[in-house]
Amino acid sequence: MINSEKKHHIGYITNGINLDHIPCGNAWYIIKILNLQGKQNQIGVGLNLPSKKIGLKDLIKIENRTLTQDEIDAISLFCVDASLSVIQDFAVIKKHTIELPPLIQNIIICPNGRCISHKHISKFITTTNRHNKINVTCHYCEQIFFLEEIKSYNI
């Protein structure tokens, strides 16, 4: 049997990383946060690919690049549960699932228009509620939002 997800080869990677199962539409945020445009690394981007796991997905492959934990934390908002594979000589040597850090700084713009965070570096505490939905709580106004309600980002 052919695994349908294996058909989508956006170029092979010799050494580098493969970030797969990014929710559809979020690849651009990640490219922006990692500041990948205009760099020397070869990058393969797949958009709106079918995924059995999440319906439609994006994926990003970057040649000759690894990600620091700070970079992973910075992009995690846009790819929770995505899989990050580290590739060396065509082989996957490490694979892990992206998780949200407990605190996200500077990326989310608080939806509360009167929040004082707009004058500071925003800070949001991440939690998962009992229905397994991700909540983010503003450190300044203490309002709680669903992650999917957040539409404005400082990137």
Least Å distance, CB 120 to Zn ion, is 10
Check residue 60 for interaction with Zn ion (CB under 5 A): no
Least Å distance, CB 134 to Zn ion, is 17
Check residue 117 for interaction with Zn ion (CB under 5 A): yes
Q: Taking a C-beta distance cutoff of 8 angstroms, is the pair 134, 121 a contact?
A: no
Q: Taking a C-beta distance cutoff of 8 angstroms, is the pair 22, 77 a contact?
A: no
141 vs 155, beta carbon nearer Zn ion: 141
Check residue 125 for interaction with Zn ion (CB under 5 A): no
Check residue 19 for interaction with Zn ion (CB under 5 A): no
Whole-number Å distance between alpha carbons of 83 and 57: 12
**Binding region for Zn ion (CB under 5 A) out of 11-19, 82-90, 98-106, 137-145:** 137-145
Apex CA 129: angle with CA 76 and CA 30, to 5°? 15
Check residue 107 for interaction with Zn ion (CB under 5 A): no
Applying CB under 5 A, among 44, 67, 140, 155 the residue interacting with Zn ion is 140
Applying CB under 5 A, among 22, 82, 115, 150 the residue interacting with Zn ion is 115
Whole-number Å distance between alpha carbons of 134 and 149: 10
Whole-number Å distance between alpha carbons of 114 and 112: 6
Listed residue (38, 41, 44, 42) closest to 10, CA to CA: 44
Check residue 110 for interaction with Zn ion (CB under 5 A): yes
Chain contacts with Zn ion (rule: CB under 5 A): 110, 112, 115, 117, 138, 140-141
